[in-house]
Amino acid sequence: MSWEAEIVNGLLDAEIDLVTQLPDGAMGAVLEGLHEADVDTLRVEREESAIAAASGAWVTGERAAVMCQSSGLANAINAIGSLSVPARLPFLALVTRRGDLGEFNIAQVPAGYGLPAMMDEMGVRHTVVSEPGALRKTVRMAADSAFSTRTPYVVFLDATVTGYGQEAQ
Amino acid sequence: MAADQFACTAAVVEETPDAVVVSNLGVASYVLAEVADRDRNFYLWGSMGSTTATGVGVAHGTDEQVTVLTGDGSLTMSLGVCSTVVTADQPNLTVVCFDNGIYGTTGGQPTPSIDFAAAAEAQGLSATSVADDDAFAAAYADAVDHEGPSLIECAVEPTDPEARPTFDFPHIPRRVRDSLNE
Ligand SMILES: Cc1ncc(C[n+]2csc(CCOP(=O)(O)OP(=O)(O)O)c2C)c(N)n1
Ligand SMILES: [Mg+2]
């Protein structure tokens, strides 16, 4: 199974009702797979809105996931810190993490490389996936834990999984 | 001329008693708490700029009316959210922007002056602008009947409410969720 299919299947296993997202090139096939599987997706104007919309969905009994690039999660720090965490509004986030192995663009480095530590500072659990093998299970288990503990959970996808641009070579 | 935020908030609760009302941090939540501390009041204590998007998420999962009470400062912070309201295209969502011309909650510093109805329309979101209590009540009733989402910009007099919602923030969304699940 491709890593994209692993993610789509993991989200289906987790019975995710809504995926809020701002497009990332690397996640194109995931988005397509979600459309084929009839999972509702919502494109937002800014990733902070993806977190807020996922939070709003929780009060209706839905389980929402957020998909974005690491810079997008950085855009959403205040929503996570002043809504998701203190109001205990859970979401699963799937974040393509730039700024580490293979990164050519220095503008992606400070936030992308630093986000796991930033999540730690805010008390948000996360895992960095660098091998696609168990991705389906990881996505499912991250979602299950987020919604049963009523806290957010972030799955970072490293460039070893998603591939990377070799512009600088 | 400007409307009274208490009267307009009361009109929302009267017109749509079963609505989930998502209220902006600060003054909008304080006024709502003073008007009626309902189970379906989704008061925010933070996340300035994210009030409207929170409402979009609520409207996705319920067929009940969802009404956002945001502020001019908060909407300015994420003005592009009107495009997300259009993308989501939920018939049960109404966004009210109380424009008091200030960052009321932080002491009344002036906000940028924006024609919010025009800014919403420019993004494809149906919008109207009102400046007195009766016009607001009529516009709100129309917005609720309207087939798609819409925005009402309502010029209001600044106010400094006494009431506060519970400080137990996790209790607030839990209470909304329990009420919707009944
Ligand atoms: C991201 C962020 N910036 C600034 C603040 C401080 N702050 C809290 S409420 C508020 C004013 C909000 O203005 P508006 O949306 O117009 O609502 P009003 O207080 O006038 O009702 C500000 C600046 C904050 N809480 N979060
Ligand atoms: Mg204001």
Q: Would you list the DSSP string of A20-66?
A: EE---GGGHHHHHHHHHTT-EEEE-SSHHHHHHHHHHHHTTT--EEE
Chain B: nearest CA to A89, how far in angstroms?
A: 8
Determine contact, residues B57/B80, Cβ cutoff 8 Å.
Answer: no
Domains of chain B (ranges, CATH numbers): 5-181 (3.40.50.970)
pLDDT digit string, tens, across residues B125-163: 999 999 999 999 999 999 999 999 999 999 999 999 999
Residues in Cβ contact with B102 at an 8 Å cutoff, skipping those fewer than 6 apart? B73, B108, B109, B110, B111, B158
Residues in Cβ contact with B38 at an 8 Å cutoff, skipping those fewer than 6 apart? B13, B21
Task: Give the pLDDT band (50/70/90) at residue B63.
Answer: very high
Residues in Cβ contact with B17 at an 8 Å cutoff, skipping those fewer than 6 apart? none
Domains of chain A (ranges, CATH numbers): 3-162 (3.40.50.970)
As a whole number of Å, the CA-based R_g of chain B is 15
Contact yes or no for A83 and B46 at CB 8 A: yes
Tell me the pLDDT of chain B averaged across its residues: 98
Backbone angles phi, psi at A107, to 5 degrees: -70, -20
Determine contact, residues A132/A6, Cβ cutoff 8 Å.
Answer: yes
What pLDDT, on the 0 to 100 scale, is given for residue B155?
A: 98
ipTM summary value: 0.97
Distance B178 CA to ligand 2 centre (A): 31
Ligand 1 site, residue B102, Cβ cutoff 6 A: yes
Task: Give the pLDDT band (50/70/90) at residue A13.
Answer: very high
What pLDDT, on the 0 to 100 scale, is given for residue B104?
A: 98
How many CB atoms within 10 Å of residue A141? 17
Question: Whole-prediction pTM value?
Answer: 0.98
3-state secondary structure A144-155: HHHHHHCCCEEE
Q: How many whole angstroms separate alpha carbon B87 and alpha carbon A54?
A: 15
Q: Does B17 touch chain A (CB under 8 A)?
A: no
What pLDDT, on the 0 to 100 scale, is given for residue A167?
A: 79
pLDDT digit string, tens, across residues A94-148: 999 999 999 999 999 999 999 999 999 999 999 999 999 999 999 999 999 999 9
DSSP state of B3: B
Write out the residues surrounding ion ligand 2, Cβ under 5 A: B 71-73, 100, 104
Percentage of the residues of chain B whose pLDDT score is greater than 90: 99
Report the candidate in A156, A42, A88, A94 with the shortest Cα–Cα distance to residue B173: A88
Task: Give the pLDDT band (50/70/90) at residue B167.
Answer: very high
Residue A46: its chain B contacts at CB < 8 A? 78, 80-81
Residue A152: its chain B contacts at CB < 8 A? none
Determine contact, residues B39/B175, Cβ cutoff 8 Å.
Answer: yes
Q: How many whole angstroms separate alpha carbon A81 and alpha carbon A121?
A: 10
Task: Assign A95 to helix, strand or coil.
Answer: strand
- Buried b vs exposed e over B125-152: b needs ≥16 C-beta within 10 Å? bbbbbbebbebbbebbeebbeeeebbbb
Residue A107, judged by CB atoms within 10 A of its CB (0-12, 13-18, 19+), counts as exposed
Residue B22: its chain A contacts at CB < 8 A? 56
